[in-house]
Amino acid sequence: MYIFRSLGGGVNIVERGEFAVSKPPGEVLALLKKPEEVAKLIPGVSKISKLGDGYVAELLVKLGTLSGKLNTRFRYVERENGVVIVGNASGMQTTADFKLDVFLSPLESGTLVKWLFEGTARGLLSTLAPTLVVETLRKVALETARNLENYLQKI
């Protein structure tokens, strides 16, 4: 994990990982091409709907003893070897930008799934409680990756 403070007073985080699934890359890619299903793997996401060329959702976030909803917009880009989800969430006097890259590589007995999460938060909460915001971003990234692995293994 890489954490650094941005020049604008916010916090940034980068998390990455990988896991293997027993399905072939084509089958995994087909599962990843379902934005409404994949978005549900992000902890706290609800009310997902299509809006123009992207999607909107509500994201329930808990920051220590505070909790609230963030309005989230994201775009979903399919590639030959994976998907990229880029979005923005705002609420609780904070704005967060995020990007989740998912890359697929064939293995002899399945697919290697590599993921990269990049997140930036700025606003009141990231200024007053940067460590709490970073831990929340990190938790969301890691839980999303675990949920993604379970989703790809079970279906």
Q: Which residues, other chains included, contact 41 with Cβ-Cβ below 8 Å and sequence gap of 6+?
A: 144, 147, 148, 151
Assess contact for 118 and 13: CB atoms under 8 A: yes
- Name which of 117, 118, 56 is nearest 91 in CA terms: 56
pLDDT at residue 126, rounded to an integer? 84
User: Which residues in 21-48 are b (16+ Cβ under 10 Å) and which e?
Assistant: bebebeebbeebeebeebbebbbbbeeb
- Name which of 52, 23, 55, 26 is nearest 39 in CA terms: 55
Average pLDDT (59-71) is 87
pLDDT at residue 23, rounded to an integer? 95
Binned at pLDDT 50, 70 and 90, residue 58 comes out as very high
Average pLDDT (124-128) is 84
Percent of the chain at pLDDT > 90 equals 62
pLDDT tens digits for 20-32?
Answer: 999 999 999 999 9
Query: Where exactly are the structural domains of the chain?
Result: 2-154
pLDDT at residue 8, rounded to an integer? 57
pLDDT at residue 62, rounded to an integer? 85
Give yes or no for residue 152 having a pLDDT over 70. Answer: yes
Q: Helix, strand, coil shares of the chain as percentages rounded to 5? A: 30, 55, 20
pLDDT at residue 9, rounded to an integer? 64
Q: Which residues, other chains included, contact 150 with Cβ-Cβ below 8 Å and sequence gap of 6+?
A: none
Give yes or no for residue 35 having a pLDDT over 70. Answer: yes
- Say which CATH superfamily domain 2-154 falls into: START domain (3.30.530.20)
Assess contact for 140 and 112: CB atoms under 8 A: no
Neighbours of 12 (CB within 10 A): 18
Q: What is the pLDDT of the chain when averaged over all its residues?
A: 89
